[in-house]
Amino acid sequence: MILHQKSRGEGREPVIICIGGLAGSGKSTLAKKIAEKYDLRYFSGGDALMALAIEEGYKPLQHGWWESQEGMKFLEKRGKDPRFDEAVDKKLVELAQKGDVILDSWTMPWLLKKGFKIWLEASPEKRAERIVKRDRMSFKKALEALKCKEKQTQTIYRKMYGFSLGDDFEPFHFILDTESLNAEEVFQVLCIVMDSPAFHRDGTLSPDP
């Protein structure tokens, strides 16, 4: 078993979980549910970037801000100035080193050597459908914004770290297709994996006896 509240204490290896997935894949919802179930601290790279956007004078208050015109302007600014992403990634690495955390982040699976790394996969169309429900925007706008945002984000991380977000799955221990699953079903699948006696914190599974 990866972690249970009763197992916490001295001598136990700290737990680090990274959850990745493009917008609308369900990673934030899943990360929060896992954090609650397994008594982990939750940190979001997106929330940290949003805090920096506020410091820069942006007002990310409405639903779907990342897909809005203002959100896209901040994304363009990040593309020209890496200090925003560098600051967030530095802080997340520091938090991960303290252990017992779950990180909702696009970069940590590549920047951390330790931890169990999960990727949630879904088509652009399915993810756009979810964003429509979440952020109350039209399907056409959601799909166009997703494609534009992801292209620019891929450029940022390729330039900074050399990986291709959404195409490079090398660091991940577990990839789950969420196309036909709801949030509760995704959560239950991950709980089954993480509660397995064969599961280890480094993402490996013990061989069958």
**Which residues are CB-neighbours of 85 under 8 A, at least 6 positions away?**
49, 78, 107, 156, 157, 160
Q: What rounded mean pLDDT belongs to the chain? A: 88
Q: Are 189 and 181 in contact (CB under 8 A)?
A: yes
Question: Residue 6 has what pLDDT?
Answer: 36
Strand order in the sheet with 174-177: 41-44, 101-104, 16-20, 116-121, 174-177
pLDDT digits (tens, 9 = 90+) for 1-26: 444 433 444 555 778 999 999 999 99
Q: Please state, in angstroms and as integers, the Cα–Cα distance from residue 25 to each residue in 20, 130, 180, 182, 209, following that order.
A: 9, 8, 11, 10, 35
Q: What is the pTM of this model?
A: 0.87
Q: Which residues pair with 42 in a beta bridge?
A: 102
Per-residue pLDDT, averaged over 191-197, amounts to 87
- For residue 200, name the pLDDT band (cuts at 50, 70, 90): low
Residue-range domains of the chain with CATH: 14-194 (3.40.50.300)
Q: Measure the CA–CA gap between 32 and 28, rounded to whole angstroms.
A: 6
